[in-house]
Amino acid sequence: MRKKLPIGIQTFREIREEGYYYVDKSSFVLSLINQGKYYFLSRPRRFGKSLFLDTLKELFEGNKTLFQGLIIHDQWDWSVTYPVLSISLGGGVVRDRADLEATLHQQLSYHEERFGLHAAFPEIRSRFLELIRRVHAQTGRRAVILIDEYDKPLLDRIEEPVIASEIREGLKDFYSVIKDSDAHVKFAFLTGVSRFSKVSIFSGLNNLKDITLDKRFSAICGYTDHDLEMIFAPELEGLDRDEIRQWYNGYNWLGDAVYNPFDLLLLFDQREFRPWWFETGTPTFLIKLISQRQQFTPDLARIMAPESLLSTFDVGNMSVEALLFQTGYLTIDSFRYLPGRLELTLRYPNKEVQSSLNDALLQALSQDTMAPTTNVSRLYDILMANDLPALRELFHSFYASIPHDWYRKNQLAGYEGYYASIFYSYFAALGLDIVVEDATNKGRIDMTVRFNHRIYLFEFKVVEMVPEGKALEQLMRKGYADKYRQYDEPISLIGVEFSSNSRNIVGFEIVCV
């Protein structure tokens, strides 16, 4: 039987009482409570963090009827309830530290009113500390502290280092209260998008257990394939399961891969494959940072990084890898343990992210929001028609449209990697099957594309660095096509040569084998 889709609903009570679809996450709740006391979880936006915290709230407050039929229902002592202090920093935009403190004062006032208390101190840290102590004294039960979007005030001002640093200090002071109140705290759970360095924001709360990369909790937010089959089966009729996986599955935190729940709910509602999650707001500073760092875009699909790099995010020290991983634009492909460290290989989670992120990067590069859209559409038509000579004209036109000032500032301009990045991003924006530096027994193909039952092998060269004609010659001399003959599909070898002087394509040779 079909139910209502909980699009945008973050309230556990409403979902349970109003007959919405719900994926039971209560087994994770049991594990957390049985294993520890202080937790931190990082997940991308719109992944269900707020709903999970609200589930915790209803559980500790003893609202038994809401959990009827869930795993935890018969394993929880409903005779005992706890006072819950929920604080959400996800609403509105924080302008500065004063604005942050006003927001916190407002939320503390709400809880004081709930328990019939008056503010004991005017200063935010002491007020929070005293609230926890007095709630414990009044109820006879230690407090449960739930903080949602702990990092949003800081992310709101991440492009303004001075203000961001002031907000960081305010948050650090506030969160340190939790550790200082240990005797009065039953359980604490903090969620956010970013894993800011513990030294920078959690130095006063160094007893937090970070479960972000704990494989046991990889599916604590998001939907698994099993969830789709068991919970959302009525919604799957008429939709291609493989296409659903390619578009929206693939997020991984060392355990089970999950779907973005926001994407799936919009897909089931609209019955269209679109970048629903990406369209809800990709941070402009992310695209700007990638452009400023002059990132070689093909590397985004195969980044290797130690786990420590992904948790050192801080004001003035933002690695592209950490930012992309924490915001959900890259995920874990594979991992291995080395002495004293965990090494991760990252990739795009799915077609939605690969396509949308590269489209956004092309817009930033061209400084024209319409040009990439038009060219990507044209590229699709060219590939469908297998009109390879038209590829040269398409890319020649785009390279010619890039502002001169961008070339002047970009250190990669003039190098093979720069031109290859643009080529790659166009194909990636279509969500095509692409392999960069495709390994063969005789070398590496710069880029392989499989589409519409055809295979395209690209080699890129800059003529100021090698003689003209070398791109296609390398493809043929090394027999790169041999790797793909087993598929019995037409293979095109395409040698593309650029000039750093003219800043455009000067050679484009094609051989079909």
Q: Give the Cα separation of 116 and 108 in Å (integer).
A: 12
Report if residue 143 sits inside a domain.
yes
Work out the angle between the directed axes of helices 26-35 and 49-60 (0-180°, nearest 10). Answer: 70
Q: Give the Cα separation of 355 and 230 in Å (integer).
A: 29
Residues 387 and 311 in one domain: no
Residues 300 and 334 in one domain: yes
Q: Minimal CA–CA distance to 53: which of 10, 89, 82, 90?
A: 10
Using DSSP bridges, classify how beta strands 491-499 and 209-210 pair: parallel, antiparallel or unpaired.
unpaired
Q: Give the Cα separation of 172 and 314 in Å (integer).
A: 13
For a pLDDT cut of 70, what percent of the chain falls above it? 92
What's the confidence (pLDDT) of residue 116?
Answer: 95
Long-range Cβ contacts of 129-137 (<8 Å, 24+ apart): 129/177, 129/180, 129/181, 131/85, 132/85, 132/177, 132/181, 132/184, 132/185, 133/181, 133/184, 135/83, 135/85, 135/111, 135/184, 136/83, 136/184
What's the confidence (pLDDT) of residue 20?
Answer: 97
Q: Which of 365-379, 381-395, 493-507 has the highest mean pLDDT?
A: 381-395
Structural domain ending residue among the three candidates 212, 245, 261 = 212
Largest CA-CA distance found in the chain, in angstroms, rounded: 82
Token reading at 206: 């160094």
What's the confidence (pLDDT) of residue 182?
Answer: 94
Report if residue 248 sits inside a domain.
no
Structural domain ending residue among the three candidates 212, 233, 268 = 212
Report if residue 295 sits inside a domain.
yes
Q: Give the Cα separation of 188 and 89 in Å (integer).
A: 16
Q: Is the pLDDT of residue 146 over 60?
A: yes
pLDDT digits (tens, 9 = 90+) for 293-306: 767 778 888 888 88
Report if residue 352 sits inside a domain.
no
For a pLDDT cut of 90, what percent of the chain falls above it? 64
Q: Give the Cα separation of 375 and 442 in Å (integer).
A: 34
Q: Give the Cα separation of 365 and 370 in Å (integer).
A: 12
Residues 57 and 175 in one domain: yes
What's the confidence (pLDDT) of residue 484?
Answer: 95
Rounded alpha-carbon distances, angstroms, from residue 301 to 89, 257, 320: 32, 17, 13
Report if residue 392 sits inside a domain.
yes
**C-beta of residue 5 within 8 angstroms of C-beta of residue 48:** no
Find the mean pLDDT for residues 485-490: 94
Token reading at 475: 């493809």
CATH number at residue 110: 3.40.50
Q: Is the dihedral of CA 439, 444, 448, 454 positive or negative?
A: negative
> In 249-388, where does DSSP find H-type helix?
261-270, 284-292, 320-326, 351-366, 370-385
In Å, how far from its chain's centre is CA 111? 33
Report if residue 434 sits inside a domain.
yes
Reduce the DSSP state of residue 238 to 3 states and report it: coil
Residues 55 and 159 in one domain: yes
Rounded alpha-carbon distances, angstroms, from residue 373 to 54, 155, 360, 387: 40, 29, 10, 19
Q: Is the pLDDT of residue 320 over 90?
A: no
Q: Is the pLDDT of residue 324 over 70?
A: yes
Least confident of 65-74, 226-235, 282-291: 282-291
Reduce the DSSP state of residue 345 to 3 states and report it: strand
Report if residue 262 sits inside a domain.
no
Structural domain ending residue among the three candidates 212, 240, 268 = 212
What's the confidence (pLDDT) of residue 500?
Answer: 79
What value, to the nearest 5°, has the Cα angle with vertex 43 and ends 31 and 18?
70
Q: Give the Cα separation of 27 and 24 in Å (integer).
A: 8
Reduce the DSSP state of residue 460 to 3 states and report it: strand
What value, to the nearest 5°, has the Cα angle with vertex 448 and ends 442 and 453?
120
Residues 327 and 407 in one domain: no
Q: Is the pLDDT of residue 413 over 60?
A: no
pLDDT digits (tens, 9 = 90+) for 346-384: 999 999 999 999 988 888 776 667 777 788 899 999 999
Q: Give the Cα separation of 105 and 99 in Å (integer).
A: 10
Residues 301 and 435 in one domain: no
Average pLDDT, the chain: 89
Residues 145 and 288 in one domain: no
Residues 80 and 158 in one domain: yes
CATH number at residue 413: 3.40.1350
Rounded alpha-carbon distances, angstroms, from residue 434 to 142, 301, 364, 438, 447: 54, 10, 22, 9, 7
pLDDT digits (tens, 9 = 90+) for 67-85: 999 999 999 999 999 999 9
CATH number at residue 342: 3.30.56
Q: Give the Cα separation of 145 and 481 in Å (integer).
A: 60
Q: Is the pLDDT of residue 412 over 70?
A: no
pLDDT digits (tens, 9 = 90+) for 15-59: 999 999 999 999 999 999 999 999 999 999 999 999 999 999 999
For the chain, what is the domain count?
3
What's the confidence (pLDDT) of residue 407?
Answer: 52
Residues 199 and 340 in one domain: no
pLDDT digits (tens, 9 = 90+) for 120-133: 889 999 999 999 99
Residues 63 and 152 in one domain: yes
Residues 336 and 416 in one domain: no
Residue 446, phi then psi, degrees to nearest 5: -55, -45
**299: burial class by Cβ within 10 Å (0-12, 13-18, 19+)?**
middle
pTM: 0.90
Residue 233, phi then psi, degrees to nearest 5: -50, -40
Which residues share a beta bridge with 438? Answer: 445
What is the domain extent for residue 75? Answer: 24-212
Instruction: Name the strand (E) or helix (H) holding 438.
Output: strand 433-440
Find the mean pLDDT for residues 188-216: 81
Report if residue 420 sits inside a domain.
yes
Residues 408 and 479 in one domain: yes
Q: Is the pLDDT of residue 421 over 90?
A: no
pLDDT band at 91 (very low <50, low <70, confident <90, very high): confident
Q: Is the pLDDT of residue 414 over 50?
A: no
**C-beta of residue 224 within 8 angstroms of C-beta of residue 188:** no
Find the mean pLDDT for residues 176-200: 87
